[in-house]
Amino acid sequence: MNHILITGGAGFIGSHVVRHFVQHYPQYRIVNVDALTYAGHLENVADVQQAPNYCFVQADIGDFSTMCHLMEQHAITAIIHLAAESHVDRSIGDPFLFARTNVLGTLSLLEAARCTWGGNWQGKRFYHISTDEVYGALPLEENMRFTERTPYAPHSPYSASKAASDHFVRAYRDTYGMPILISNCSNNYGPYQHPEKLIPLCIDCICRRRPIPVYGKGENVRDWLHVQDHARAIDTIFHHGLPGRTYNIGADNEWSNLALIHLLIETTDRLLSRPPGSSSALIRFVADRPGHDLRYAIDASRLRQELGWHPAIPFREGIEATVRWYLEHEVWLRTITNHTLRCNTCQNN
Ligand SMILES: NC(=O)c1ccc[n+]([C@@H]2O[C@H](COP(=O)([O-])OP(=O)(O)OC[C@H]3O[C@@H](n4cnc5c(N)ncnc54)[C@H](O)[C@@H]3O)[C@@H](O)[C@H]2O)c1
């Protein structure tokens, strides 16, 4: 019987992973631990809060004694670790916060697992959810992609903190024999993503006829995956991945930021019955992000060939459903935006 601690389950990806495991595995016990920072909202998991196999605990993963207590209290047998500071722009302004949460927070969880499981690794798993950004940047013109053997070369404080946490997780495998799993995934999109991120930000700007900021010339390329395909990949790796192994997750779906923004404009204008493409006038090119990686592209053939996972949601369909979701969840969007503004004000005072 799996008793799974899912960290960061009130955030974007974590909420989909929590929902997926609660609904698909009624025999498991799911303990969602989240500090509810500006990025975490219980509204994101409201539909499972009454489920008998689910409970929520508000706590900071960096609080080692609380993590040990939770592991014992709930007889945790596996951890799926998603809690993190996740926004690259914020990492440029406050790198310490990213090191505290992403590096020390992960270390705190690893130590809590090591102390609680006491070297009895039978039936245990520590699964770290990571990003393709640890691999650095690829050139635009060449057909290269990140594999699991690509050397780490992070450029932002965010990706450096995720790279450091990946290294700590592997060190626990090599030093203590902990059965770990790591997956490095490309950019996710879908419902419940915080409106500071590119896709919801654009949809919101288009709806409100506000300027759409585009870094540099909009040439940067990202490889996009629907968050529900990511949740299914996590399920596959959790149940069938080889302990100690790393898996890349991606959908072979590269888009330049500018091309993606035009797709969002075309979709949103159509759904709002506006003249096609009329919102293109809202595009504003702004100074590029420092250290902005040019291109990410994931080779997920290990996951496809060894574990049989494939993305199921075609991108244009996923984008249309996502735009519809944001149009229908105006209250959610305003609640999250206002809460974030309040959090930012508190931090700055
Ligand atoms: N978003 C992507 O495209 C993407 C792609 C690949 C990997 N990832 C990774 O997936 C994970 C989730 O990303 P996301 O986009 O859902 O992030 P998010 O910012 O939407 O959610 C992060 C969650 O972690 C919680 N959290 C933050 N600090 C915490 C702490 N100290 N203790 C407990 N909880 C804390 C927040 O409250 C929030 O609920 C992250 O580890 C991220 O690096 C994200």
Domain ranges of the chain: 3-190+225-252+295-313
Which residues form the pocket of ligand 1, taking CB atoms under 6 Å from any ligand atom?
Answer: 7-8, 10-14, 34-37, 39-40, 60-62, 82-86, 101, 105, 129-131, 162, 185, 187-188, 194
pLDDT at 209 over 60: yes
When pLDDT is cut at 50, 70 and 90, the band that residue 349 belongs to is low
State both tokens at 159: 């990706």
Q: Token match 């902990």: residue? A: 178
What was the pLDDT predicted at 85? 98
Rounded to a whole number of angstroms, the distance between the first and last alpha carbons of the chain is 47
Q: Kindly give the distance from the C-alpha atom of residue 40 to the centroid of ligand 1, in angstroms, as a whole number.
A: 8
To the query of whether residue 247 is one of the catalytic residues in this protein, the response is no
When pLDDT is cut at 50, 70 and 90, the band that residue 348 belongs to is low
Summarize pLDDT for 229-257 with one digit per residue, the tens.
999 999 999 999 999 999 999 999 999 99
To the query of whether residue 133 is one of the catalytic residues in this protein, the response is yes
Give the contacts of 269 (CB within 8 A, at least 6 positions apart): 206, 275, 276, 277, 278, 279
State both tokens at 98: 């990213």
- Burial bucket for residue 121 (CB in 10 Å: 0-12, 13-18, 19+): middle
∠ CA(18), CA(22), CA(23), 5° rounding? Answer: 115
Q: Kindly give the distance from the C-alpha atom of residue 273 to the centroid of ligand 1, in angstroms, as a whole number.
A: 35
pLDDT at 266 over 60: yes
pTM for this structure?
Answer: 0.97
Please give the Cα distance from 198 to 99 (Å, whole number). Answer: 23
pLDDT at 121 over 70: yes
What was the pLDDT predicted at 8? 98
Report the residue among 12, 187, 296 best suited for mutation to probe ligand 1: largest number of ligand atoms under 8 A from its CB: 12
Per DSSP, the residues of 61-111 read TT-HHHHHHHHHHTT--EEEE------HHHHHH-HHHHIIIIIIHHHHHHH
Nearest CA to ligand 1 atom 28: 84
Amino acid at 251: A
Does residue 313 sit in helix, strand or coil?
A: coil
Summarize pLDDT for 37-87 with one digit per residue, the tens.
999 999 999 999 999 999 999 999 999 999 999 999 999 999 999 999 999
Q: Kindly give the distance from the C-alpha atom of residue 8 to the centroid of ligand 1, in angstroms, as a whole number.
A: 6
When pLDDT is cut at 50, 70 and 90, the band that residue 174 belongs to is very high
What was the pLDDT predicted at 347? 67
CATH code of the domain made up of 3-190+225-252+295-313: 3.40.50.720
Please give the Cα distance from 246 to 214 (Å, whole number). Answer: 33
To the query of whether residue 158 is one of the catalytic residues in this protein, the response is yes
When pLDDT is cut at 50, 70 and 90, the band that residue 142 belongs to is confident
- CA–CA distance from 24 to each of 205, 238, 247, 293 (Å)? 36, 13, 22, 37
